[in-house]
Amino acid sequence: MTTVTIRRGDGGPVTLDAAALDNLKSGLRGRLLVAGDDGYDKARTIWNAMIDRRPALVVHCEGVSDIQRAVNFARTHALLTSVKGGGHNIAGSAICDGGLLIDLSGMRAVRIDPLARVAHVEPGATLGDFDCEAQAFGLATPLGINSTTGVAGLTLGAGFGWFSRKHGMTIDNLLAVDVITADGRFVRATAKENADLFWAIRGGSGNFGVVTRFEFQLHPLGPEVLSGLVVYPLKEAASALKQYRQYAKQLGEETTVWTVLRKAPPLPFLPSEVHGTEIIAFALFHAGNPDAGRKAIEPVRHFGTPIGEHIGVQPYRLWQQAFDPLLTPGARNYWKSHNFTDLSDEAIDITIKYVSKLPSPHCEIFFGMIGGATMRPAPDATAYSHRNAQYVCNVHGRWETAAEDQKCIEWARGFFRDTAPHATGGVYVNFLTEDESDRIKAAYGPNFDRLAVIKKRYDPQNLFRMNQNIKPV
Ligand SMILES: Cc1cc2nc3c(=O)[nH]c(=O)nc-3n(C[C@H](O)[C@H](O)[C@H](O)COP(=O)(O)OP(=O)(O)OC[C@H]3O[C@@H](n4cnc5c(N)ncnc54)[C@H](O)[C@@H]3O)c2cc1C
């Protein structure tokens, strides 16, 4: 290899000579890539097309030894370093400009122990990989709602999905992690072993090292579950949302109902004349017996006069992919997110106002219902502290061309600003965009100071800074 000029963590350039690069390369099972190499563009491309960065070096890892080698190399040369799992993070923190990218996306193994009901997961696995293996045994753990999301980043930020109300956040089901820390050590963390690190990893995002293996508790689920959609026109949204917030208060933990307001996609169960018009959709999921589920979701079918519904018993794996077509990679995306403990009349009115002026047909506002088991742990039991959140709201600006950037971003910011007085002030760290460094403290909440102390213990030089960063104190 020839020399490479690369950015250091402090921003300055450093030139790495051929001997150093050859030494790194020769010890890898995976590949060392530079611009122009086959696989380089794939490695630097992530879900959000707004992020277009060019690392100087990519270590495409095949195993833990590659990760350890990359971390040691990055620390020795004090390089700007980023870590990529599934590449979904909206802020694009997985990719650094001009630095070293540790690409884990090739490490996707998921091993299920059906007797112990435990999953061992490599850090490049997607939710789809996980569900495929776990559902072969009728098992699952709470993960997100889009099958191409990475298990790693989702878990490190806390994670929630369709059956979090029953079994908690993803981190509440995490049993152990293997980590390569900034000093290149292999460390196992559990509730008993390196407990400070295990506490910090459960919501402290990628600040504390590279996780090389996740171990999750599994629960029986499905494989067939009751799930589906009920859709109303926007003119019924205010009434439907007011009924929804009452309904949510007495809902059992096996049932989850999210709501999304957007333009109707061309779904086959919707009449063609409503395609492209503004709607409110309720997405229903029941984690238990389907007959009990039908009773539990019945009120949602009577919030107004539905323009369409599609409810049935279907494989959980398929439900986990149901929203993939609306969330394909390659679009431009900008998010703003709030946590809510309840939906006030004002928040409902503002939501409807913003949905009446969607700047692109792909934009949407959703309220993901959590609550239930996610609220049981104390706020300081894990780094994730937002145990009061009933709803995670995300205004999802999504569009196709750079020419639309400004109007879509302004729309999302406007909704965020206007609804802020009705929200908790807390935010889910995994929904922060790259321009929200002023909200990092709000994301870690009262646990921020403790996280900063643990950061100093495990990463005193802030090698892992490409994340919603906690500076070591
Ligand atoms: C379409 C879509 C749907 C989503 N739905 C949900 C949802 O339902 N529920 C939910 O909770 N979240 C959801 N999210 C948010 C998601 O949890 C975050 O985007 C998360 O960061 C994705 O993880 P990733 O591995 O794909 O991300 P990446 O972009 O690869 O990584 C994000 C960050 O995590 C860190 N990281 C990744 N892997 C490691 C590792 N092995 N060790 C140390 N640090 C690491 C790095 O700091 C990296 O910058 C969704 C995101 C998208 C885009």
31-33 vs 13-16, strand pairing mode: unpaired
Residue in 149, 256, 260, 434 to alter for ligand 1 test, most ligand atoms within 8 A of Cβ? 149
Contact call for residues 443 and 428 (beta carbons, < 8 A): yes
Cβ-based burial of 321 (10 A; exposed 0-12, middle 13-18, buried ≥19): middle
Residue in 64, 84, 208, 324 to alter for ligand 1 test, most ligand atoms within 8 A of Cβ? 84
Residues in the chain: 473
Q: Whose CA is nearest to atom 48 of ligand 1?
A: 94
Q: Which residue type sits at 335?
A: W
Rounded to an integer, what distance in angstroms lies between the CA atom of residue 120 and that of residue 214?
Answer: 6
Nearest atom in ligand 1 to 153's CA: 23
- For residue 168, CA distances in Å to 9, 107, 148, 162, 375 come to 36, 26, 21, 10, 8
Distance (Å) from CA 350 to ligand 1 centroid: 29
Percent of the chain with pLDDT over 70: 100
Q: Could you report the per-residue pLDDT of 320-344, keeping only the tens digit for each? A: 999 999 999 999 999 999 999 999 9
Q: Residues 155, 32, 73, 449: what is their CA dihedral angle, to the nearest 10 degrees?
A: -20
Segment 37-64 mean pLDDT: 98
The widest CA-to-CA distance across the chain, in whole angstroms, is 71
Residue in the structure block whose two tokens are 């006069």: 305
Q: Whose CA is nearest to atom 7 of ligand 1?
A: 144
Distance (Å) from CA 430 to ligand 1 centroid: 6
Residue 389 has pLDDT above 90, yes or no: yes
Spatial CA neighbour of 327 closest among 22, 48, 61: 48
Residue in 71, 126, 154, 431 to alter for ligand 1 test, most ligand atoms within 8 A of Cβ? 154
Residue 1 has pLDDT above 90, yes or no: no
Rounded to an integer, what distance in angstroms lies between the CA atom of residue 104 and that of residue 278?
Answer: 39
Answer whether the bond into residue 299 is a cis peptide, omega within 30°.
Answer: no
Q: Is 362 in the pocket of ligand 1 (CB under 6 A)?
A: no
Rounded to an integer, what distance in angstroms lies between the CA atom of residue 207 and that of residue 201?
Answer: 8
Contact call for residues 283 and 320 (beta carbons, < 8 A): no
Distance (Å) from CA 217 to ligand 1 centroid: 20
Q: Whose CA is nearest to atom 50 of ligand 1?
A: 149
pLDDT confidence of residue 237: 98
Rounded to an integer, what distance in angstroms lies between the CA atom of residue 411 and that of residue 357?
Answer: 8
Q: Which residue type sits at 14?
A: V
Nearest atom in ligand 1 to 179's CA: 42
Q: Whose CA is nearest to atom 45 of ligand 1?
A: 206
Q: Is 204 in the pocket of ligand 1 (CB under 6 A)?
A: no
Spatial CA neighbour of 44 closest among 114, 116, 102: 102
Q: Could you report the per-residue pLDDT of 280-294, keeping only the tens digit for each? A: 999 999 999 999 999
Nearest atom in ligand 1 to 123's CA: 41
Q: Could you report the per-residue pLDDT of 131-183, keeping only the tens digit for each? A: 999 999 999 999 999 999 999 999 999 999 999 999 999 999 999 999 999 99
Nearest atom in ligand 1 to 84's CA: 30
Q: Is 189 in the pocket of ligand 1 (CB under 6 A)?
A: no
Q: Whose CA is nearest to atom 3 of ligand 1?
A: 146
Distance (Å) from CA 296 to ligand 1 centroid: 31
- Strand, helix or coil for residue 328: coil
Residue 388 has pLDDT above 90, yes or no: yes
Distance (Å) from CA 90 to ligand 1 centroid: 8
- For residue 209, CA distances in Å to 156, 195, 204, 221, 431 come to 11, 15, 11, 32, 21
- State the average pLDDT for the chain: 97
Contact call for residues 66 and 29 (beta carbons, < 8 A): yes
Q: Is 147 in the pocket of ligand 1 (CB under 6 A)?
A: no
Residue in the structure block whose two tokens are 């789809």: 128
pLDDT confidence of residue 457: 98
Q: Could you report the per-residue pLDDT of 406-430, keeping only the tens digit for each? A: 999 999 999 999 999 999 999 999 9
Segment 219-237 mean pLDDT: 97
Residue in 45, 88, 367, 459 to alter for ligand 1 test, most ligand atoms within 8 A of Cβ? 88
Rounded to an integer, what distance in angstroms lies between the CA atom of residue 158 and that of residue 148?
Answer: 17
Segment 27-33 mean pLDDT: 98
Q: Is 445 in the pocket of ligand 1 (CB under 6 A)?
A: no
- For residue 365, CA distances in Å to 312, 338, 349, 355 come to 25, 11, 13, 7
Nearest atom in ligand 1 to 169's CA: 11
Q: Sheet containing 118-121: give its strands across.
A: 110-113, 118-121, 210-217, 174-180, 186-189
Q: Is 87 in the pocket of ligand 1 (CB under 6 A)?
A: yes
Residue in the structure block whose two tokens are 């100071």: 449
Q: Which residues contact 381 (CB under 8 A, 6 or more apart)?
A: none
Segment 226-242 mean pLDDT: 98
